[in-house]
């Protein structure tokens, strides 16, 4: 056991390395190193000629060819993707669970890629730019963002894509500075609700909730809209059974009203497991269906086990009680049936 505890302890260096801000900073540093090395290497390869790199000092640049546009678009798209990934990581790490959607994260990665490729296509052609504006105006994108900060991230992704298609250094600056500001706001919990205001708001919410409980119809409607509509059928069935048994316990004066189909059998005992093994064969004899409802611990210290029973036509509640008492013997301290 001691060896496990020692193995779980991490060194300070490992804890720093596991920090998301540190990982993002390392990621940017790796991009810078790789970009500088690639820039020097590309200048000495045929790609340098395609991109218009002068092969010697003072030599004029090579005219732009179709290969130039293809390579430029590829570079812009790659840079946009590399700079979009840390933005998506920061969004995932700092966003609250409520309202979080994976599709937004994917959009933060894909949108800069698309925008960068389009900008490379239209940046030197005014007719293409106007054509693109007409196409975007004709196509409508409908998406509801629950958090206003999500819209800022979408706007940032568009800006990174635009900058990657025009000036790579500007795109890098936007990505780095934005993530730095976001981490600063998140780590300092900037502009959080003051404690005094939070306490006042919590008291108001509690008062409103208590007032809603007193209005049964409004409370049930809100419960159905906010909770029940999101539950799967299995959980709804379990909840309905729990509510039925609680109503039987809380309002015995309503027993016998309406069409009685099920019966609540309650048994007081000190040995639940042993009593169940004794009485459940009896329930199979007297009931069409018997469902175990669990143990109920009442405030006065009394423990009851409950069954939801649907009696056979030939059986009566009194006969069921008599058979259960006989089968359980001394284990049954008390028994009752509520119809």
Domain boundary among 133, 157, 188: 188
End-to-end CA distance of the chain: 55
Last residue of a domain, one of 175, 207, 230: 230
Whether pTM > 0.85 for this model: the answer is: no
DSSP string, 159-192: HHHHHHHH-HHHHHHHHHHHHHHHHHHHHHTTTP
Look up tokens 């004029």; give the residue.
Answer: 60
Q: Does 21 lie in the same domain as 76?
A: yes
Q: How many domains does the chain have?
A: 3
Estimate to the nearest angstrom the gap between the alpha carbon of 156 and the chain centroid: 23
> Any idea which residue has 């994976």 for tokens?
102
d(CA 80, CA 114): 9
181 and 265 housed in the same domain: no
Q: What is the mean pLDDT of residues 84-97?
A: 84
Specify whether 75 is located in the same domain as 88. Answer: yes
300 secondary structure, DSSP code: T
**Are residue 112 and residue 222 in the same domain, yes or no?**
no
Give the range of the structural domain holding residue 251, as residue numbers without chain letter: 233-338
| pLDDT classification of 210: cutoffs 50, 70, 90 | low
256 and 160 together in one domain: no
Distance between CA atoms of residues 83 and 77, nearest Å: 10
Residue 124 CA, chain-centre distance (Å), reads 43
335 membership: H or E segment, kind and range:
strand 334-338
Residues linked to residue 290 through DSSP beta bridges, in sequence order: 309
Same domain for 176 and 41, yes or no, is yes
The pLDDT value recorded for residue 222 is 66
Other CB atoms within 10 Å distance of the CB of residue 311:
23
Query: Could you tell me if 20 and 127 lie in one domain?
Result: yes
* 86 and 40 part of one domain: yes
Per-residue pLDDT band at 47 (split at 50, 70, 90):
low
CATH of the domain at 300: 3.30.70.1710
What's the angle, vertex CA 297, arms to CA 293 and CA 300, rounded to 5? 145
Q: pLDDT digit string (tens) for 221-267?
A: 666 667 777 777 777 777 777 776 776 766 655 554 444 477 788 88
Classify 11 as helix, strand or coil: coil
String of DSSP letters for 148-162: HHHHHHHHHHHHHHH
Looking at the structure, tell me whether residues 243 and 266 fall in a common domain.
yes
Residues 160 and 171: beta-carbon distance below 8 Å: yes
Task: State pLDDT tens for residues 145-158.
Answer: 667 778 888 888 88
State which of 188, 212, 246 marks the end of a domain.
188
Tell me, yes or no, whether 167 and 199 share the same domain: no
Compute the distance between CA of residue 108 and CA of residue 84 in angstroms, rounded to an integer. Answer: 7
Q: Are residue 137 and residue 218 in the same domain, yes or no? A: no
Same domain, 66 and 179: yes
Collapsing DSSP to helix, strand or coil, 265 comes out as: strand
């Amino acid at each position: 056991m001691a060896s496990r505890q020692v193995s779980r302890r991490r060194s300070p260096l490992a804890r720093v390395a596991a920090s998301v801000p540190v990982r993002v900073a390392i990621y940017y540093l790796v991009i810078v190193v790789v970009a500088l090395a690639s820039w020097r290497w590309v200048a000495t390869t045929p790609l340098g000629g395609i991109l218009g790199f002068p092969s010697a000092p003072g030599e004029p640049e090579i005219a732009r060819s179709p290969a130039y546009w293809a390579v430029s678009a590829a570079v812009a798209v790659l840079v946009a993707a590399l700079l979009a990934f840390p933005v998506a990581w920061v969004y995932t790490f700092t966003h609250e669970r409520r309202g979080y959607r994976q599709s937004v994260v994917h959009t933060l990665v894909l949108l800069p890629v698309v925008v960068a490729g389009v900008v490379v296509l239209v940046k030197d052609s005014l007719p293409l730019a106007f054509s693109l504006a007409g196409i975007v105006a004709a196509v409508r994108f409908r998406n509801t963002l629950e958090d206003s900060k999500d819209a800022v991230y979408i706007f940032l992704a568009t800006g990174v894509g635009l900058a990657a298609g025009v000036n790579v250094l500007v795109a890098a600056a936007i990505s780095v500075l934005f993530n730095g500001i976001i981490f600063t706001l998140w780590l300092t919990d900037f502009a959080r609700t003051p404690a005094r205001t939070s306490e006042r708001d919590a008291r108001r919410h509690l008062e409103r909730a208590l007032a809603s409980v007193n209005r049964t119809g409004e409370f049930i409607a809100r419960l159905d809209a906010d909770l029940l509509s999101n539950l799967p059928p299995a959980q709804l069935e379990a909840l309905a059974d729990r509510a039925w048994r609680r109503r039987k316990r809380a309002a015995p004066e309503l027993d016998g009203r309406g069409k009685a189909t099920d019966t609540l059998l309650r048994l007081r005992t000190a040995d639940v497991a042993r009593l169940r093994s004794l009485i459940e064969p009896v329930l199979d004899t007297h009931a069409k269906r018997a469902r175990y409802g669990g143990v109920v611990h009442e405030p006065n210290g009394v423990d009851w086990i409950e069954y939801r029973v649907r009696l056979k036509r030939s059986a009566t509640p009194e006969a069921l009680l008599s058979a259960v008492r006989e089968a359980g013997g001394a284990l049954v301290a008390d028994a009752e049936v509520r119809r």
